[in-house]
Amino acid sequence: MGKLLIILFSSPLQHQNTDTVYEFAKAAVEEGHEVSVFCDADAVYNLVATQILLDQTTPAKKLAKLIDMGVRVLVCQQSARLRGIEVEKGLIEKVMKSSLGELAQLMEESDRVVSFNV
């Protein structure tokens, strides 16, 4: 099957893009595609570990589920740092630290690229 790259730019609470990304990525994985989700700009807030709440389905919890399904979830380190997020210990488990340079490489290697922003 193909390689799908999803780029997410929007924050978790102002838009429904994270929910759409979750459903889209989940469906692609279920169809056998290799999926990567790259979080940049305000989308890095989707990956904050303290946003996983036991009694609620939060955007962070959904992205953690994608990781458990085999989706590569990447964060732009610079975007996270600029927003005061500790990249080394403030993100959900198994998020891969990345950069815009790596994003360009992922775009080249992917069969399809889809972007969600404001």
10-residue averages of pLDDT along the chain (118 residues): 96 90 98 98 95 87 97 98 94 97 98 94
Domain CATH number, residue 15: 3.40.1260.10
Instruction: Output the pLDDT for position 36.
Output: 98
Range of the domain at 62: 3-116
Computed from CA positions of residues 74, 75, 78, 79, in that sequence, does the dihedral angle turn out positive or negative? positive
Q: How many separate domains does the chain show?
A: 1
* Residue 118 CB neighbour total at 10 angstroms: 10
Instruction: Output the pLDDT for position 106.
Output: 98
